[in-house]
Amino acid sequence: MVREILSDYEEYFNDALADGRDEADVVAALGSPQKLARELKAQNHYRQWEQHRSFGNLSRVVASIAGLGVLNFFLAIPFMVYLMFLTIGYVVSVSFLVAGLAVVLGWGSHSLFGWPEFSVDSLDIGHRGAPGLVDVKADDGSASGEFRIEHGRLVLEPDSGSTIRLTTRQGDPIVVSRNGDSLKVDASQPARLLLQQTDDDEVSINSHAVAALAYSGSGGDQAAFRVDDNGRLTSLQASAGGQEVKIEASGPHGLTVLKDGNSVLEISEKKITVKDGISFVHLDALPGMSVGMSAAIVGLGLLLAGALGLVFCVWLTRLTWRVLVSYVKYQIELVSGKDRENAAA
């Protein structure tokens, strides 16, 4: 490359001397050596870009042209702002696309496979059993076992000072408590027929015969729930250590409330509310729709907006590339003097 440049300028000097021009005049006509070097550098970068068209090579050509001072500063600023907004457009479009895809996949998975579970319909204590619902957890995270389900039977083993109240399907009350080492059972004769005492510490009852349960612990912990005729949960309220949970049957009036101190999460079929004592977030479902269906509609909207935005950004990028290539070619032609040669011809 260097040899070609030296050969070209040697031929240029020889032709000028043959025409009777003075060498000093020829050197002066070439201009500043620094500017000449920048022009040669720009032309070299342009040749490299023509051989391998990449964004990196094109960027070097643009930088070389800018070094020549031929780029208009007042045009460069709007162009940089345009590139900044184009980049933001890419980021927003991809974010919308990913968020919409996540929402749609989550909703589709829930609709087809029931996962992730957004309702309390799967919580039951009837003949299907749900030991995770009725196990009472101790402070260290282990099951205290004060009431639990084993082989379809609700086992009651209250600690000293705890009381468990049951209501059977027939409406008969059963109260099981412990006073010291003595287990006390208070129930009517029909209700007693449903009970089975396995030892001195516990009694059990067919879980399908239970309509409601209320638990009061010696440490102030409380829990209460009701189930329907099919054993499915209709309501649940529990509190322990400053934490509270409240669940009502899924449906138009379904409600789930989780409390931890000042923090509250409330979810129903029509709204979602989150507050922590400082911030407050309230989301309403679209008119005539549930939260789940509204999420699906919003997810599809985000997916569509992200896809259209990404296609538009790609189209703008291709258009920008073509305009920039045309501008670079024009500037290189000006630097190399092709326009002047064409005009002279």
Query: Which range has the worst mean pLDDT, 114-128, 158-172, 203-217, 224-238?
Result: 114-128
Q: What is the pLDDT, as a whole number, of residue 169?
A: 92
CA distances from 116 to 107, 109, 110, 198, 282 (A): 8, 7, 5, 39, 22
Decide if 146 contacts 158 (C-beta within 8 A): yes
- In a domain? residue 275: no
Decide if 329 contacts 322 (C-beta within 8 A): no
- In a domain? residue 261: no
Place of tokens 């935005």: 309
> Stretch 164-190: mean pLDDT, rounded?
91
- In a domain? residue 33: no
**Alpha carbon distance 83, 191 (integer Å):** 78
- In a domain? residue 154: yes
* Local confidence band at 181 (pLDDT 50, 70, 90 cut-offs): confident
Q: Which domain holds residue 182?
A: 120-241
Q: What is the pLDDT, as a whole number, of residue 251?
A: 54
- In a domain? residue 340: no
Whole-structure pTM value: 0.53
- Does the pLDDT at position 287 exceed 80? yes
> Stretch 95-113: mean pLDDT, rounded?
88
Buried b (16+ CB within 10 A) or exposed e, 236-273: bbbbbeeebbbbbbbeeebbbbeeeeeebbbbbbbebe
Q: For 233-276, what is each residue's pLDDT tens digit?
A: 788 888 887 788 887 765 555 777 777 778 888 888 788 888 88
Which of 71-75, 123-127, 287-291 has the highest mean predicted lDDT (pLDDT)? Answer: 287-291
Q: What is the pLDDT, as a whole number, of residue 241?
A: 75
Q: What is the pLDDT, as a whole number, of residue 4?
A: 66
Residue 232 is classified by DSSP as B
> Stretch 18-39: mean pLDDT, rounded?
72
Q: Which amino acid does the sequence have at 57?
A: N
- In a domain? residue 35: no
- Does the pLDDT at position 21 exceed 60? yes
Q: For 48-92, what is each residue's pLDDT tens digit?
A: 877 887 778 777 777 777 766 655 556 667 877 888 899 999 999
**Alpha carbon distance 4, 243 (integer Å):** 82
Q: Which long-range contacts (CB under 8 A, 24 or more apart) does 55-58 make?
A: 58/321, 58/324, 58/325, 58/328
Q: Which amino acid does the sequence have at 252?
A: P
- In a domain? residue 180: yes
- Does the pLDDT at position 39 exceed 90? no
Q: For 126-165, what is each residue's pLDDT tens digit?
A: 433 333 344 444 444 333 468 888 888 999 999 888 999 9
Q: Could you give the angle at the alpha carbon of 28 between the alpha carbons of 22 and 33, nearest 5°?
A: 135
Give how many domains the chain has, as a whole number: 1
Q: What is the pLDDT, as a whole number, of residue 134?
A: 45
Q: What is the DSSP string of 207-218?
A: GGGEEEEEEE-T
- In a domain? residue 251: no
Q: In terms of Cα–Cα distance, which of 207, 95, 217 is closest to 146?
A: 217
